[in-house]
Amino acid sequence: MGKPRRGGLPVADRADFDAFVAARSQALLRTAYLLSSDWGLAEDLLQTALVKSWFAWRGIEGAPEAYVRRVIVTTYATWWRRRWRGERTVGDFPDAGVSDETGTIDSRDEMWRAIGALPRRQRAVLVLRYYEDLSEAEIAVALGMSVGTVKSTAARALAKLRRNSDLSRAAGGDR
């Protein structure tokens, strides 16, 4: 172990933490964005998770990325519960009288809207499974649930997305 610094971690641990942050911040920021659908909130979420992880860095066993990812998900859940969701500010207001002349639907945007409407736990499972490409076992560890709960939560979320009529139209189906 190295000599302690003012920040509380020995020099060697601080270097490890700094290297981890430099190497994995972009991937962790993407996870935070996929959960929050807002880049500003995602940056705040990642920063908060990294601060919490800094204080626990010496005690993290195994893969630190899994630990930090779990901190991101639990912090997001805590913020989600506390945040008032009555109104949401937007950068630009849509033009009320303008219609899409091409008649095409941006299916990616429709999918994000549908995922954004899912309950936070279902959304977290889908983001970690299909966007972060984690296994069911890794998701179970990250979210603190059993593998069976991960599977059933993912199944319910996918079923909800399949029932979404906007997504059916975007895919060209008449479900």
For the chain, give every domain's residue range: 11-61, 107-170
Helix (H, G, I), strand (E, B), or coil: what is residue 4? strand
What is the tens place of the pLDDT at every residue in 101-137? 444 456 777 888 888 889 999 999 999 999 899 999 9
Using alpha carbons only, give the angle 90, 72, 10 rounded to the nearest 5 degrees: 130
- What CATH number does domain 107-170 carry, 3.30.70.1290, 1.10.10.10, 3.40.50.300, 3.10.580.10? 1.10.10.10
Whether the pTM exceeds 0.85: the reply is no
Instruction: Supply the pLDDT for residue 101.
Output: 44
What is the tens place of the pLDDT at every residue in 5-51? 444 555 568 888 999 999 999 999 999 999 888 899 899 999 999 99
